Amino acid sequence: MKKKVTIVLATYNGERYLREQLDSIFRQSFLDYQLLIGDDCSTDNSVEIIKEYQLIHKNIYLIVNSKRLGHVSNFENLIKQVDSEYIALCDQDDIWKEDKLYEAIGRLEEANRLNLPILFHSDLEGIDSENMSLYNSFFKKRGYAFPNKKSVDIMLGRSGIMGNTMVFNQALKNKILPFPKDLIVHDYWIALVNEFTGKRITSTNVLVKYRIHEKNTSKSFRLSSKSFKRETIVLPYHNIQREKVLEEFKKRFKIRNKELEVVDIFLDYLYFKKNKLSLILSTCTYDFFRIGLIYKLKLYGAILWKK
């Protein structure tokens, strides 16, 4: 029997935390789900752990890739397989709160009458490798606030919608596939497409414990007295192929003129070919970047100083 929601879990050498994540999934208060796992050629005991859980839970389905796909393509391949009404993305090293799916599906069902792509996401708690809390709210930690209205400038730049909290409908699945070949962060693409074409539902409830460790530590924009050299400055969203992704986005989707203007302003910043002062003036009226006066001053100083 087809389930209401399919959880897609991409694994690769995740044995250390995988049991905790699986246990949290099977503690969910919402029960109408199945779990689809794609293992990307793990060399540890990840597959053995999953098969152990399959003996107990009959709603686990496992795909073992014949060759390494990489994180983004692994998720893409899993999403392609899903015919459930809703799709929930899941990382191998987090812990879900027991009402995560219950709230997500409830909110999505309320909005589904709109007959649009719909994306639900939530706040997270940061934890370390030993499950100790690092911060209570990802939104507050990073200064994220998500207006109820469409906010394409936020999604073009800082986004802040984490893939491990995403639950979305089939209408959005049909919009996001296939992923652009230059994409290196799948949740950015999903959030962007939804913001332009559908409806976003933001929950300020903390529904996921997000594990912070060396492998997923943010490489976001930093400036210090030691690193403030013209030749070493890397501006936010530069050098991650985002301009190629946005060019593909423009080709694939019909964008309203006013929104297209915002996309092009952000692309000017990414290409960094215009006058630096004009770049600052054109971008400062939009929410591309993180909130905070000190951050903005450092950023604009770095734009002026960068070669």
- Per DSSP, the residues of 190-235 read HHHHHHHHSEEEEEEEEEEEEEP-GGG--------TTT--GGG---
> Residue 231 above 90 pLDDT?
no
Interval 244-294: pLDDT, tens: 999 999 999 999 999 999 999 999 999 998 999 999 999 999 999 988 888
Q: Give the rounded distance of the alpha carbon of 68 from its chain centre.
A: 21
Residue 118, φ and ψ in degrees, nearest 5:
-135, 135
Q: What is the mean pLDDT of residues 101-130?
A: 95
H or E element, residue 293: helix 293-305
Banded pLDDT at 295 (limits 50, 70, 90): confident
Kindly report which listed range (107-111, 117-121, 182-186, 228-232) carries the lowest average pLDDT score: 228-232
> Residue 232 above 70 pLDDT?
no
- Helix orientation angle between 276-283 and 293-305, rounded to the nearest 10 degrees: 160
Q: Which two tokens stand for residue 248?
A: 């593909």
Q: What percent of the chain has pLDDT over 70?
A: 93
Domain ranges of the chain: 5-216, 230-305
Instruction: Assess contact for 78 and 36: CB atoms under 8 A.
Output: yes
Nearest to 64 by CA among 119, 9, 128: 9
More confident residue, 160 or 226: 160
Kindly report which listed range (22-31, 63-72, 206-215) carries the lowest average pLDDT score: 206-215
Fold of 5-216: Spore Coat Polysaccharide Biosynthesis Protein SpsA; Chain A (3.90.550)
> Residue 98 above 90 pLDDT?
yes
- What is the secondary structure of 80-130 as a DSSP string? HH--SSEEEEE-TT-EE-TTHHHHHHHHHHHHGGG-S-EEEEEEEEEE-TT
Q: What percent of the chain has pLDDT over 90?
A: 84
